[in-house]
Structure 1
Amino acid sequence: MLKRFLMLLFLLGSWAGVPILALTASSSSSPEGKSEIRVMTFNVKVDFEEDSRVPPWDDRKDLCAQVVKEARPDLLGLQETSPNQLAFFQDLLEGYETVGKTPLPSEERELFETLFPPLKEIGFDSYTDVILMIRKEVFEILDQGHWWLSPTPDKASIGFGNIFPRITVWARLKHTPSGREIVAVNTHFDNTAPSQERMAKLCQEKLQIFVDEDLPILFFGDFNTDQGRGDYPLLTSGGWKDSYLASPEASETGRDDNVPTIGGRSRIDHIFYYGKSLQAVEWKRLESPDPKRALSDHFPVLSVLAID
């Protein structure tokens, strides 16, 4: 009977011209009685900076859209998102709310333009490098905010050895299926050592208020640090877990590197989590549907976590 039912679904999907994925529920690999949260982090490679290793944005945005749609994230963390790219993803993901479009006073905007002159040509009035996209049918936003990764986290600034301001954005959410409150945090650390260690320490200090409330926390993004560097132990201490290590099966392909332009086994895009109510059940590196066209200079990463 089950085989006949599945065959019927397949035929219906084929006749309707839609993938079978659209007719089936999310993965059933979660422990019995638990809901799933699908978390995706993706450094999309900003569109106004040329890179011979990555096609122009107009030549890869359709691939990015396909990968994001097929991943069906409940929480999507984007990094290196220009205002133009943010508008693209907002049009693509109509059922999502956006957190992280950070207004910049004129003084802070001038700092950005001084540090990175190409920004003057864009005419931006808000910072969109780190964006959280939240599926509205799964989460209700209760609160949100951000901090800058510097000794003065309340304003756009540098000071940890980085040459450009970096930011972390967060949202306190109600997970509708379970009724639990949860905190989602997206970040983009600098790529200069040892700034990552200072950024990791600051984030731990900022997140402690949620730890003290015993709230489940999802902390993800482009950390520009792999499992062999000094700040990685900080990020996986005190009850924090790496979803890659905690997942029963880390990846369908067995590949854990997610920086195609440098090779090796480096993982710098991570999905960490805190809280006894969360359990990683799947981790996957996502690849371009077209091997001849890279999505970005990073692979997207997807983790599925069970929450009771």
Structure 2
Amino acid sequence: MKLRNVFLLSLAVLLLCDGCSNREEDVEIKYISYNIRYGTANDGDNAWDIRKPATKEMIEREQPDVFGLQEALIGQLEYIDSIFPEYSRVGVGRDDGKEAGEFMAVYYRNEFFDLLDSGNFWLSETPDSCSFGWDAACRRIVTWAKLKDKESGKVFYAFNTHLDHVGEVAREQSILLIVKRINEIVKDDKMPVLLSGDFNSNVSSPIFDPLKAEMKDSRAILPESEWIPTYNSFGNGNDTMIDYIFYKNAEVLDFKTLNGDYGKPYISDHYPVMATMKI
């Protein structure tokens, strides 16, 4: 009887340790940030109805675990929902907190992740209400999701945003607010956090200094000679690098600017960017 008890105790310890090991194992996450270009724009041959198959092809080919969209209107989201039921999303329209205006939607693979929490805040002096901020031309919003990997139990946060294209004060103050809100929402200073978006600024701008004090730019894994502009303006020049994925408490394994052929010369007026992270 004693030998049997010792065996059962040993087995229980082994199972417990194995469970601990599984919970602590690293998880790889493929994350895409994509300014999809709002669907009602009068873009001629680059109109949404013409290029949306390229968005479908990109998602099918790249197979992101999580992706953050900027400028997406409800009709564009419903199209993605209809063809990719394996993804769920969070987010609200920036113009009414429901379905009006552009979304900063966060999509995640529902077979891989559980949604633990989510929320939105506006980039303004009154972030908890639908509002314009500072000198911004448009309402701007951040959408976030707290996700748990079903297999490992690892938890991480994904934040997604789009800074104003006009207001310089708004961009500067928005970065300060994002840093403040991330710290308030996440609380745990060891928690993996990802922040994606169209920042309408180059990372060399001093407005990024408060963010760079807290998080790292995933593109920095590459030599600067391999950095590719992300705003392509459908080939009309003015190429700039304004789309980013920042992170903390994670490791970047790979970074790509998705400027390949997905069936159209330009998938959007921005190229998506993709980071493979280990958390």
* TM-score, length of structure 1 as denominator length: 0.75
C-alpha distance in 2, partners of 1:151/1:166? 12
Contact in 1 for aligned 2:66/2:109 (Cα 8 Å)? yes
Does residue 59 of structure 2 align to residue 75 of structure 1?
no
What are the equivalent positions in structure 2 for 1:146-185 lying under 5 Å apart?
Answer: 146-185=120-159
Does residue 26 of structure 2 align to residue 34 of structure 1?
yes
**Alpha-carbon distance change, 179 to 250 in structure 1, aligned in 2, over 3 angstroms:** farther
**Structure 2 residue ranges without an equivalent (≥5):** 1-24
Q: 1:91 offset after TM fit, Å?
A: 1.3
Partner of 1:228: 204
**Alpha-carbon distance change, 84 to 213 in structure 1, aligned in 2, over 3 angstroms:** same
Partner of 1:112: none
Q: Deviations over 1:41-71 (max 9, x none)?
A: 100101111136x611111111111011111
* TM-score, length of structure 2 as denominator length: 0.82
**Alpha-carbon distance change, 250 to 70 in structure 1, aligned in 2, over 3 angstroms:** farther
C-alpha distance in 1, partners of 2:263/2:54? 11
C-alpha distance in 2, partners of 1:280/1:40? 13
Contact in 2 for aligned 1:147/1:168 (Cα 8 Å)? yes
C-alpha distance in 1, partners of 2:258/2:172? 27
C-alpha distance in 2, partners of 1:155/1:290? 38
Identity of aligned residues (%): 30
C-alpha distance in 2, partners of 1:283/1:125? 32
Q: 1:139 offset after TM fit, Å?
A: 1.2
Partner of 1:29: none
Bigger Rg, structure 1 or 2: 2
Please point out which of 232, 236, 259 is paired with 1:260. Answer: 232
Contact in 1 for aligned 2:57/2:262 (Cα 8 Å)? no
- The one-letter amino acid paired with 1:282 is D
C-alpha distance in 2, partners of 1:95/1:78? 17
- The one-letter amino acid paired with 2:145 is A
C-alpha distance in 2, partners of 1:283/1:257? 13
Contact in 2 for aligned 1:100/1:128 (Cα 8 Å)? no
C-alpha distance in 2, partners of 1:126/1:218? 26
Partner of 1:283: 255
Does residue 86 of structure 2 align to residue 95 of structure 1?
yes
- The one-letter amino acid paired with 2:193 is I
Does residue 38 of structure 2 align to residue 46 of structure 1?
yes
Contact in 2 for aligned 1:63/1:288 (Cα 8 Å)? no
C-alpha distance in 2, partners of 1:39/1:125? 24
**Alpha-carbon distance change, 99 to 306 in structure 1, aligned in 2, over 3 angstroms:** same
Please point out which of 179, 186, 193 is paired with 1:217. Answer: 193
**Structure 1 residue ranges without an equivalent (≥5):** 1-32, 110-123
Q: 1:34 offset after TM fit, Å?
A: 3.0
Partner of 1:65: 56
C-alpha distance in 1, partners of 2:257/2:99? 34
State the SS of the aligned residue for 1:294.
Answer: coil
C-alpha distance in 2, partners of 1:270/1:220? 6
**Alpha-carbon distance change, 143 to 102 in structure 1, aligned in 2, over 3 angstroms:** farther
Contact in 1 for aligned 2:54/2:263 (Cα 8 Å)? no
CA-based RMSD of the aligned residues comes to 2.4
**Alpha-carbon distance change, 218 to 125 in structure 1, aligned in 2, over 3 angstroms:** closer
Contact in 1 for aligned 2:123/2:140 (Cα 8 Å)? yes
Does residue 171 of structure 2 align to residue 199 of structure 1?
no
Contact in 1 for aligned 2:104/2:141 (Cα 8 Å)? yes
Partner of 1:294: 266
C-alpha distance in 1, partners of 2:230/2:94? 31
Moved more, 203-212 or 254-263: 254-263
**Alpha-carbon distance change, 292 to 304 in structure 1, aligned in 2, over 3 angstroms:** closer
Contact in 1 for aligned 2:198/2:242 (Cα 8 Å)? yes
C-alpha distance in 2, partners of 1:103/1:221? 15
